[in-house]
Amino acid sequence: MSATTLAHQGLEAVQNKQYEAAIPLLDKALASSSSPAWLLARGQAHTQLKNYDAALRDVSEAYHVAAERGSGTSRKQMIQAQYRRAVIYFKLGRYADSDCCAKWSMLLAEGRPAREDDGVEKQIDGNGAYTVTYEDGVADRAGQPGQGDADFKQSMLAGMGGGGSGGPTTAKTGFEDDWKRAYTWRSQALMALKNLPEDHEGKKVSVTKTPSRPQKEVAKKPEPETEVDSDEDVAEPSKPAGPAPGSVPDEKLKLRVDFYQSNQNVTVTLFVKDAKKPDLNVKFSDTQVQISSLPRAAAPYVQPGDREATSTLTLGGQIDPAKSRWSATPHKIELVLQKATPGVKWGSWGKEDIGSAASDAATFTTQTTSTTAPSTTTTQPSTTTKATSTGPAYPTSSRSGPKNWDKLASGDGTGEGDDADDEKNDVNGFFKQLYKGATPEQQRAMMKSFVESNGTALSTDWNDVKGRTVETVPPEGVEAKKWDAK
């Protein structure tokens, strides 16, 4: 199969959010050609899978290759590379670096020279902290290509050319959409930066406009062959080549986990590559789940029986082991845990420990994948007692657990009824400011897109959303399900 065909399949997989499938296809394609478009796509896939070091290498190499080629698409690819850097640094908590890269993406979209010393990264104080503020970023729109300053909000909504009646008009560059995307990302980075402590590392600038080019791996010279006496036994390696056992920190061995819950169950999804159902042994206790033998992507040497092949999950609440069950596919293991006390809200699913870290009190039972689903006739706890002691608990995805809505609404002076301070430090504060400063049509688009997508999408482009129903697009690894009110 040709590199072009493999790349086309890889690009299509990225577009369909099949990131794990996209990477090996793009790996094979890039072995033949260092296409900036292919590198950017693989960098996006690595970012979604939280392989941030690999993602940075790809987008940095894409920037350099695009600059060297100087083709008709090179500037757009350089703009996209700077934007991808901004996204990666944001996810790493390096918000000052993220804003710098987003600004460089904007400047390239405005047609500014790539080698221009614009001093973006030099805006720091005596303590080395980044001095650009959220208000500075929102006001920084003078160079928006193809727009006039006075008509900025309307032009952002309609995507029209030309300028406003009250300001100069900048020339169109063909990269207006790229500029808007980078501008929006700056708002998020600077809002996050605004809420950091003064001495936080996220306020330090450590990037340069031209990213460091990744060093290419040099192929090792083959070692000279030595003759072996045919009468001697040659020892076979007992394990595949890889890092020495115990050389990978536990944090890197831990699995990516997602969960959701109902009144009866907590469903925990563990993302594992090459999981083989016949090889898995899953044991349940009241407060823990033990799983072995697990393959580890970060430690390919792991074999059944090794400490690293076992994970012990300490749960965020008590379960009924006899009514809990599990299933497995080559890419994930799903645990359906029956709550010991139905209706109790768990603040989190729990934590993972590497190895057999079972508590002394744990008594494990082994369940097969065909365990009967939990009964729905379990007696519910008294709602009267619950309402008076803790207040009603409603389903929530909040990391801090359920809120007592009675106290929240009462404003009784205990601090639980006043959200003013929390809003300043919450990402919702950014959306409220965005909504407040938007035009009526932008607000209309925001409301329509947010409601129809069940809170998973937000658009300010009324022309885009007015003629269609905005689809629900859940985050990677999360499955959208309809709420059953019964």
Contact 478, 397 (CB under 8 A): no
pLDDT number for residue 22 = 93
Position 385 scores a pLDDT of: 39
Give the pLDDT score at 244: 52
Long-range contacts from 380-386, C-beta under 8 angstroms, 24+ separation: 380/342, 380/343, 381/341, 381/342, 381/343, 381/344, 386/343
Closest CA to 188 of 355, 426, 28: 426
Residues 387-435: tens digit of each pLDDT: 344 444 555 555 555 555 555 444 444 444 444 444 444 556 667 777 7
Contact of 171 with 145, CB cutoff 8 Å: yes
Q: What is each CA distance from 429 to 264, 284, 298, 319, 458, in whole angstroms?
A: 34, 42, 38, 37, 14
DSSP H or E segment with residue 366: strand 365-366
| CB-based contact 143:107 (threshold 8 Å) | yes
Q: Which residues contact 345 (CB under 8 A, 6 or more apart)?
A: 261, 393, 395, 396, 401, 402
Q: Which of 98-107, 251-260, 366-375, 383-392 has the lowest mean pLDDT?
A: 383-392
CA torsion, ordered 129, 132, 134, 138, to nearest 10 deg: -160
Amino acid identity for residue 360 in this structure: D
pLDDT at 233: 40
Q: What does the mean pLDDT of the chain come to?
A: 77
Above 90 in pLDDT, residue 160? no
Q: What does the pLDDT look like over 309-330, one tens digit per residue?
A: 889 999 999 999 999 999 988 8
Q: Of 368 and 142, which is predicted with more confidence?
A: 142
Query: Under a CB-based contact definition with an 8 Å cutoff, are residues 29 and 49 in contact?
Result: no
User: Which residues are CB-contacts of 212 (< 8 A; sequence separation ≥ 6)?
Assistant: 60
**Cis before 293? omega within 30:** yes
Determine phi and psi for 347, rounding to 5 degrees: -75, -30
Per DSSP, helices labelled H in 241-331 are: 250-253
Token pair listed for 170? 């900048």
> What is the pLDDT confidence band of residue 46, given thresholds at 50, 70 and 90?
very high
Give percent of the chain above pLDDT 70.
Answer: 72
Residues 6+ apart with CB under 8 A from 428: none
Statement: residue 155 has pLDDT above 80 = no
Residue 424 is predicted with a pLDDT of 47
User: 3-state DSSP helix/strand/coil percent for the chain, to nearest 5?
Assistant: 40, 10, 50
Look up residue 341 and give its two tokens: 């006390």
DSSP-derived 3-state class of residue 332: strand
For residue 427, the model assigns a pLDDT of: 57
- Considering the four listed CATH numbers 1.25.40.10, 1.10.150.80, 1.10.10.10, 3.40.190.10, the one that applies to the domain covering 3-203 is 1.25.40.10
pLDDT of residue 446: 87
Please indicate whether residue 428 or residue 94 has the higher confidence score (pLDDT): 94
Q: What is the gyration radius of the CA atoms in the chain, in angstroms?
A: 27
pLDDT in tens, 65-88: 998 887 788 999 999 999 999 999
Write the DSSP assignment of 199-248 as a string of letters: T-GGGB----SSPPPPPPPPPPPPPPP----TTSPPPPPSS-SSSPTT-S
More confident residue, 446 or 152: 446
pLDDT score for 81: 95
Ranges in the chain annotated CATH 1.25.40.10 = 3-203
Q: Looking at the predicted structure, is the pLDDT value of residue 175 above 70?
A: yes
User: What three-state secondary structure class fits 358?
Assistant: coil
CB 17 within 8 A of CB 48: yes
Section 34-59 average pLDDT: 94
Nearest to 132 by CA among 122, 145, 117, 142: 122
pLDDT at 234: 41
**Where are the CATH 2.60.40.790 domain residues in the chain?**
250-366
Q: Where does the pLDDT of residue 238 fall: very low under 50, low under 70, confident under 90, or very high at 90 and above?
A: very low
Q: Is the pTM of this model over 0.85?
A: no
**What pLDDT, in 10s, does the model give residues 239-282?**
444 455 556 788 888 888 998 899 999 999 999 888 888 888 99
Q: What is the pLDDT of residue 393?
A: 52
Percent of the chain whose predicted confidence (pLDDT) is above 90: 33
Phi, psi of 144 (to 5 degrees): -60, 125
Q: Is the pLDDT of residue 456 over 90?
A: no
What pLDDT, on the 0 to 100 scale, is given for residue 419? 42
Residue range 462-480: mean pLDDT, rounded: 79
Q: What is the pLDDT of residue 183?
A: 93
CATH of domain 250-366: 2.60.40.790
Contact predicate 270/332, CB 8 Å: yes
